[in-house]
Each structure stands twice: as C-alpha cells, then as structure tokens.
Amino acid sequence: MSIPSFIPHEKMSDETFVLNLGPQHPATHGVLRVKLTMDGEYIARAEPVPGYIHRMHEKMGENRTYAQFLPNTSRIDYLSAMHYTHAFVGAVERAARITVPPRAEYVRVITSELNRISSHLVWFGAFLLDLGGFTPLLYAFDDREKILDLLEGITGSRLTYCYYRFGGLYNDVDADFLKGTRDFTAYMRPRLDMYRALVTDNIILRKRLESIGPISAEMCRKYGATGPVIRGSGVAYDVRRIEPYSVYPEFQFDIPVYPEGDCMARYLVRMEEIVQSLRIIDQALDQLPEGPVMAEKVPRVIKLPPGDYCYAVEAARGRFAVRIVSDNKDIPYRVKLRAPSFSNLSLYEEASQGMMLPDALALMGSLDLVIPDIDR
C-alpha cells in the first residue's frame, strides 16, 4: 500500500502536536520560524513567524537623505541587490525628471541580468542541498564566482552593490568587463546542458518535485505572489513586459511559463530564465552605445517635488516596487518597499496544508525565499 503525500484537511484527526521549524533550521534559508501543527506526518497548519531579523529599512528611509538611504537597498535582498538599487534610483529619477544616458541604461541591464543569474545559481545549489544533493551546489557556486569576479571589477563589491547612482552609474565599464562578460555567456550555455543532464533530467529529482506543492494561479493572485512562482503557475507576468522600464523594450526575450504549478514547474522556470538572461546580456553587449554614464547637472542634494511616486522592477524573486511620498524636503516623507519574498511566503500556509513534512520543505525551497527581504 502506497503512502499518500497529501491528506485533505477535513480527513485529519483531532490529535495533533506542534513542531517548530527553525528559527535556525538550515532548510529555512535564514532566521525564519515556521510553527507547524502536525497530524502524524502530515501538516495541519504551517504558520510562518517572521520578524527575527527585522531591520526597519522603511523607517530608515524616512530619516535619511535619498543618497544616504541608497546603500540600504542592496541589503534588503542581498542576492538581488542590483535590481533593488535600480528600483530606488528609478523612483527618484522618475520624480526628479532625470534622464539617464543610454549607455548607463544598457550597463544597468547587463549588470542586473548578471545578478539575476547569480541569484538563481544560489537558489539552484541551496534548493538541491535541501533535497539531499550536495554536488550541484559546488558546480553552481563555481559558476557564480565568475559573475562575482566580473561585478567586483566594476563595483568593488561581491554581494551588496551600490553601483547605480541617481542619473547613471558610479563609473563606466571597461574593456576587461565587456570581454569577461562575453566569455561568461559563451561559457555558461554549455554548463546549462550539463545541469540538465546531471540534475534536471534526473529521475530522482523528477519524482521528488513533480506534482508536489501545487500552487494555482488564483492562489498566486490572492496573495500577490510574483516572479517565478506565478510564472510556474501558468501566468506570464513579468514587470519587464507588463510595466516596461529602462531599455528592456529594446531586447528580444521570452517569458518562461509552465502551467503545472508544482515544484518542478518553478524549478524549470528559473533554469529557463538563466537562458533568457544570457540572451538579453548578449543583445545589450552588441547594442551598447558610446557616451557618458551620468546625466548632466544632477543636483548634489536631491529634493523631490511634492507627490507620490512608484517604480517597479522584475527582481530575481518577483516584482519589487519602491513607493516614495515626498513633501519637497531632502528626506522622504514616506518610503514603502514592496518585497516579493513576503508575498511568496504568505501563500505557504495554505499551499502546504495536508502535505508531508519533506514535501513541505521542497515547497518552501521552490519559493526561493530570502529572509531579509521578508524582514526588511
């Protein structure tokens, strides 16, 4: 007799016990606690308890100047730092009517897509580690090191970047970066074939992820889940297409969508996104214009006109939006950060109900949570 991996909530018994997952459990990818009410091996309720590393980023944004708050943005989701900085400078530039030079916008796209690949490689290695496979982590981090070397050369940092500026970039890219990026895209494509043979087509992984943790498109909309989570549920929602920004409309790329809604679908979306990011990078390198990387006459002290401004980007985990309310001072009246990991975590309680514990951990890993993004 086979053991079911899911049991309907109405068939559970009244004899339950509470199991704490975290706040130090490695499968939670950070300081997150999940209070599990268990019915034997099945989950009756999974209640996420965030807040263990809450850092008050929004409040800090309201007592610092715009330039002083800029380094904070890369600390919110440290794996998707470029995208978060892009959203903040984009909001300020939109409000202040600052026109960014084309070369700077192209470099922003190149560095953001490199950061997306880097983030997905961390997820790939950590996710498989959660499932019991150690070797892919070594391959993934080996490839990620090449991206970190490239970004370090132009930013001076390997994780939390503060490369973008209001009106452009801190400095221009050099010939070494451009050549190194072309070499990386050529190197990475065969590596993805290796990943497919080693991991994606592995029958053990397939049995572990297929039909596990189904999330419907309606559930994604209900909780505001975005990024690979909603695209793994059959919805082609991508901020780069829905709310075009920077120079993304200049490039040809596909939005990976898988309708199954299970852990395997979310896995396949991210692996295909790496391919599309490589495609965007190559186009940006081919079309990279000459010229300055900073706008002229950007004020040293930014004071935005009174109003309510918002700017959204497609970060590695979904839609990240910065909302700024200004009252014409050099310090924002209000800063609101719309973080994708919080919305993606919010559906976990409903999605995991009735699952067995090992499958619920696979579901959590497939959401690609970054806890500082939740406890921002």
Q: If you search the block for the tokens 């730092």, which residue do you land on?
A: 81
pTM for this one? Answer: 0.94
Q: How confident is the model at residue 51 (pLDDT cuts 50, 70, 90)?
A: confident
C-alpha to C-alpha distances, 44 to 298, 352, 361, 369, nearest whole angstrom: 56, 9, 15, 22
Residues 330 and 301 sit within 8 Å (Cβ to Cβ)? yes
pLDDT at 7 over 60: no
DSSP class per residue in 51-94: -TT---HHHHHTSS-HHHHHHHHHHHSGGGHHHHHHHHHHHHHH
pLDDT given at position 156: 93
> Is residue 306 over pLDDT 70?
yes
Is the per-residue pLDDT at 22 higher than 90? no
Burial of 136 (0-12, 13-18, 19+ CB in 10 A): buried
Has residue 304 got a pLDDT over 90? Answer: yes
* Beta carbons within 10 angstroms of residue 43's beta carbon: 28
pLDDT band at 2 (very low <50, low <70, confident <90, very high): very low
| Structural domains of the chain ordered from first start | 9-49 (no CATH), 57-374 (1.10.645.10)
One DSSP character per residue, 333-355 reads: SEEEEE-HHHHHHHTHHHHTTTB
Average pLDDT over residues 59-86: 94
Burial-class residue 361 by CB neighbours within 10 Å (0-12, 13-18, 19+). buried
Question: Which range (49-58, 332-341, 359-368) has the least confidence?
Answer: 49-58
Query: What gap in Å lies between CA 321 and CA 318, rounded to an integer?
Result: 10
Average pLDDT, the chain: 93
Mean pLDDT on 228-253:
96
Neighbours of 306 (CB within 10 A): 11
Is residue 1 over pLDDT 60? no
Mean pLDDT along residues 178-201: 96
